[in-house]
Homo-oligomer: A and B are copies of this chain.
Amino acid sequence: MAIEMEHHSPLANVNQAPASASEGDAASPPPFTRRSSARPSSGNHSQPNLKRLLGRRVFAQPQKRQKRRRVTPDQLTILEEEFCKNAKPTAANRERIADEVNMTKQSVQIWFQNRRAKVKWWAKKNLETCADFNSIPEYVKAYMALEATETGNGLVCDYPGRAGLIPVSHNSVLFGGNQAEGTVLTHHLTCRSLRIGKWIRVRQHSIDLSVSYSPQECTMTYYINNEQARYKVEYPFWHIKNIWLENRDSDPNTMGGIVIELNRAPFFFTDLSSETGSFYEVGDFTEDLQATQCNLHRIEGNPTVLANQLAELVSLDSFINRHILQHYATAVAGDPHTLSLSAPVSAITQLGSQHNDPQPRVNMLQGHWGVGQTHSSWHQPHGHRRQRSRSVPDTVDLTTSRNQSTLLSYDQPQGEMKPHHNENKYAPVPQQSNDLRRNLRIDTDAGFGLDMSQYPVLATATPLSDFSFSPTGTYQSQGPEGEPLSAASFGTPYCNGAFGFPMVDTESSCAAISPIPPNASSGPFVA
């Protein structure tokens, strides 16, 4: 006698879930486990809910609870995209978005509110896991740093036993306490997305994705956060064969990108236990092993900003001399496992100079991590179709590039991988090497408006070191072909082909955090 519970107004606001459940509804389960689902095609019910009407509190808002409408993946994509651009859209903007995604303004507003809350929660969560400042995991520091650079503010940590200011420069933050000891300078590349081969990871918020490098550690690190798990991709400078800027348009609204060509695969880490905040090395977690098979990494973002940041990077002694230092590092660190980049504030950084000079002396002691060398090596592509994506164009269109590109390359002598069609080797040309903007630009409205003040971290402005050249600075530029290396299939110690990762298919660029399809959840993982 199934009754017709659904009686939606015909004007169905699309939202249709093509495949709506059919109301199995057996008589059984409790409230949880709901069978019926009949996607509401918008029955804009305006049930009065007189209960409230009669409340002693006057005639408050009747409104029965709005029917819960799940946002579809499509809608989510757009919403996330918008959130990327602006986490706090104006009413007008919200209306536009609402129209675009076919949701009510209300829903859109709520979505943004909840979304912001989520981001905030992440931040909070991360910070809460730290017993004291020194145990703040790297990814959090990365976040803090990025947050700080985005807002132009510094950070304060008032964890018990380690309260104080965390100095911050324009795009680098000093961690590790007072600058007199154990200071680790981290620089960030302000990116919106990270693209490796056909996969892309879009940054929804600072905590989601951050790219940074340590002049002292001589490492580049991508931090990727998802829900509770942290991931990072890391490699020493000497893995970098070439690096250049690729930006088709100087329009800040257009994405530019730093392209990094590696001569060896990076290392992969994950930290599933939020308790410790430490990383464990794992195999390539990107789907299809893109990060291992493709040696071209593209850090996308505002071209102007990235240009400056790239300039800063390439002017580092530790970067310039990365391949020389590599020899030193490998020679000293005989045991690949002796050192780990995942150790918070490694003591080896003491080898480097500690002054604020953005180009500190270098120490290059990172060894190899992982069980074997296999995953640390690049392999020749074979059998794997070369993919072409927007992020990895065959050629750099210099004619359309209103800005300039930078190419810095260095052939990796010992690389197992054959450097292919790459004649573009440029020795880094140190550009102006000091503060052009000693004064921080404090802009509270910048960023996502995330108010960290309620957390143990607060903002302040303590310019320490600042380096980057003027937005109008220019590099000699020349783009390589950018043909990605690809290896067909070879085993990496900790993963198999089914191991997908935090990267999104190029087609759906902003659905980064969206839930995983059910069928994707059961691959053989731990052997």
Residues of chain A having any CB pair with chain B under 8 Å: 1-9, 25-32, 46-65, 67, 114, 116-122, 124-125, 128-132, 135, 151-154, 159-160, 226-229, 270, 272-278, 280, 282, 285, 287, 371, 442-445, 451, 453-454, 456, 458-461, 493-494, 498-505, 508, 511-517, 520-523, 525-527
Contact between chains at B30 and A118 (CB < 8 Å): yes
Known: A3-B159, A54-B444, A501-B53. A453 touches B47 (CB 8 A): yes
Q: Which chain B residue shows the least CB distance to A119?
A: B31
Question: Which B residues are CB-close (under 8 A) to A31?
Answer: 114, 116-122, 124
Q: How far is the CB of A435 from chain B (nearest CB, A)?
A: 19
Contact between chains at B27 and A458 (CB < 8 Å): no
Contact between chains at A3 and B505 (CB < 8 Å): no
Complex A-B: 9 CB contacts under 8 Å: A1-B371, A1-B526, A5-B456, A28-B228, A48-B229, A49-B453, A51-B521, A54-B442, A54-B498
Q: Which chain B residue shows the least CB distance to A288?
A: B56
Contact between chains at A54 and B270 (CB < 8 Å): no
Q: Which chain B residue shows the least CB distance to A123?
A: B31
A125 touches which one: B27, B152, B512, B516 (CB < 8 A)?
B27
Contact between chains at B51 and A280 (CB < 8 Å): no
Contact between chains at B500 and A7 (CB < 8 Å): no
Contact between chains at A65 and B1 (CB < 8 Å): no
Q: Which chain B residue shows the least CB distance to A455?
A: B5
Question: Which B residues are CB-close (under 8 A) to A3?
Answer: 128-132, 159-160, 280, 282, 494, 526
Contact between chains at A454 and B64 (CB < 8 Å): yes
Contact between chains at A135 and B1 (CB < 8 Å): yes
Cα–Cα, bound, A11→B114 (Å): 34
Question: Which B residues are CB-close (under 8 A) to A1?
Answer: 129-131, 135, 275-277, 371, 493-494, 526-527
Question: Which B residues are CB-close (under 8 A) to A521?
Answer: 51-52, 54-55, 60
Q: Which chain B residue shows the least CB distance to A26?
A: B274
Contact between chains at B451 and A500 (CB < 8 Å): no
Question: Which B residues are CB-close (under 8 A) to A58?
Answer: 226, 502-504, 511-514, 516
Q: How far is the CB of A481 from chain B (nearest CB, A)?
A: 29
Q: Which chain B residue shows the least CB distance to A278?
A: B7
Known: A3-B280, A54-B499, A227-B63. A48 touches B516 (CB 8 A): no
Cα–Cα, bound, A210→B163 (Å): 57
A64 touches which one: B272, B276, B494, B498 (CB < 8 A)?
B272
Question: Which B residues are CB-close (under 8 A) to A276?
Answer: 1, 7-9
Cα–Cα, bound, A218→B37 (Å): 39
Q: How far is the CB of A253 from chain B (nearest CB, A)?
A: 21
A60 touches which one: B59, B120, B454, B501 (CB < 8 A)?
B501
Q: Which of A49, A59, A277, A445 has the most CB of B within 10 A?
A: A59
Cα–Cα, bound, A525→B458 (Å): 52
Cα–Cα, bound, A500→B2 (Å): 17
Question: Considering the complex of A and B, which 10 residue pairs feature the smallest CB-CB distances, nearest first?
Answer: A31-B121, A31-B117, A48-B272, A55-B516, A62-B229, A27-B228, A55-B444, A27-B274, A59-B226, A54-B523
Q: Which chain B residue shows the least CB distance to A512?
A: B58
Question: Which B residues are CB-close (under 8 A) to A62?
Answer: 226-229, 270, 272
Q: Which of A6, A64, A282, A512 has the most CB of B within 10 A?
A: A64
Q: How far is the CB of A136 from chain B (nearest CB, A)?
A: 10
Cα–Cα, bound, A6→B31 (Å): 32
Contact between chains at A280 and B7 (CB < 8 Å): yes
Question: Which B residues are CB-close (under 8 A) to A504?
Answer: 57-58
Question: Which B residues are CB-close (under 8 A) to A514?
Answer: 57-58
Question: Which B residues are CB-close (under 8 A) to A53?
Answer: 229, 270, 272, 285, 499-501, 525
Q: Which of A31, A55, A493 has the most CB of B within 10 A?
A: A55
Q: How far is the CB of A368 from chain B (nearest CB, A)?
A: 16
Contact between chains at B227 and A59 (CB < 8 Å): yes
Cα–Cα, bound, A371→B3 (Å): 11
- Not counting A56-B442, A62-B229, a sample of 6 additional A-B residue pairs whose C-beta atoms are within 8 angstroms of each other reads A25-B129, A50-B154, A50-B461, A51-B525, A59-B512, A67-B454
Q: How far is the CB of A110 from chain B (nearest CB, A)?
A: 11
